[in-house]
Amino acid sequence: MNGIALGIDVGGSGIKGAPVDLATGSLAAERLRVETPQPSTPEAVAEVVAQIVDHFAAALGDGAIGVTVPAVVTGGVVRTAANIDQSWIGTDADALFTGRLGRAVHLVNDADAAGVAEARFGAARSTKGLVVVTTLGTGIGTALLLDGRLVPNSELGHLEIDGYDAETRAASSARENEGLSWEDWAARLQRYYGAIEDLLWPALIVVGGGISKKADKFLPLLHLRAPIVAAQLRNEAGIIGAAVLADEERVSD
Ligand code: BGC
């Protein structure tokens, strides 16, 4: 092990990757971003992943490779597809990517990756007890961490609240698509995070996703029992967490 792993974050518009220094959580080289192919089928995404792996081959050496997807992943198989091409459902993506690259690839949920990165190196570093990390983007992703350990595949973005799938009302995309003011969106976030904390009583809530750059516009409008803070690793959390999880998976094999 050379202390480096490659993290690749598959999003709706871009696929971003970089080698990660596993001791510090910092990127060991400037990240590479490639447009997400449309339609973003598993095969098309595997091609881009291969391109990113080639680009960083020298820096990576025999380091592990982790790839995020915005979906539930169990045993390498993608089980849902709320905001990605439906053809992912049932795909053994670990096997597909590993076959395409000729080396092991570890697939993880995008919010789980972001959560692990925040717990290890960011806003939830050394927080004891239950931390809920949420990513507000096209959908809402969630990660549960207990004393820093991930409980994988929580899908609390799909809690039913007031008869709606929560992410359709409170994701960042809902604010943009409906042209909501910060106050109106914050009212929906209040309802969402209030439900989360009534069910789970976390020690800390972390808010990630691109919109967390503007956390000062909406976090002060929320009134919750638990502290709620902006993510620190922002755009890089998925890359960093994917690298960390891939490395851990390899060590445990
Ligand atoms: C998906 C999650 C994902 C989240 C953020 C949700 O719609 O169900 O698996 O983590 O979006 O991308």
- Domain identity same for 52 and 14: yes
What domain range is 74 assigned to?
A: 4-109+236-252
Place of tokens 């997807």: 69
Instruction: Give the Å distance between the CA of 2 and the centre of ligand 1.
Output: 32
Determine the distance separating the centroid of ligand 1 and the alpha carbon of 82, expressed in angstroms.
7
Please tell me what DSSP assigns to residue 61.
T
Atom from ligand 1 closest to the CA of residue 167: 7
Whether residues 177 and 206 share a domain: the answer is yes
The number of distinct structural domains making up the chain is 2
Q: What is the mean pLDDT of residues 98-125?
A: 96
Question: Where residue 202 sits, what CATH number does that domain have?
Answer: 3.30.420.40
170 and 76 housed in the same domain: no
According to the model, what pLDDT value does residue 253 have? 66
Residues contacting residue 189 through CB under 8 Å, at least 6 positions apart: 170, 218, 221, 222
Please identify, by atom number, the ligand 1 atom nearest to the C-alpha of residue 110.
10
**What CA–CA distance (Å, rounded) separates 28 from 22?**
9
Distance 139 CA to ligand 1 centre (A): 6
Residue 116 placed within a domain:
no
In this structure, the answer to whether residues 37 and 84 fall within a common structural domain is yes
CA of 61 to the centre of ligand 1 (A): 31
For residues 7-16, give the mean pLDDT: 95
- Asked if residue 115 is part of any domain, the answer here is no
pLDDT in tens, 130-172: 999 999 999 999 999 999 999 999 999 999 999 999 999 999 9
Atom of ligand 1 nearest to the CA of 142: 10
Regarding whether 99 and 14 lie in a shared domain, the answer is: yes
| Same-domain check for residues 65 and 162 | no
Check residue 131 and give its pLDDT: 98
Query: Which is nearest to 145 in space by CA: 166, 123, 164, 162?
Result: 123
The answer on 180 and 134 residing in a single domain is yes
The string of pLDDT tens digits covering residues 12-51 is 899 999 999 999 999 999 999 999 999 999 999 999 999 9
Would you say residue 85 lies in a domain? yes
**Closest listed residue to residue 17, CA positions, set 83, 62, 65:** 65
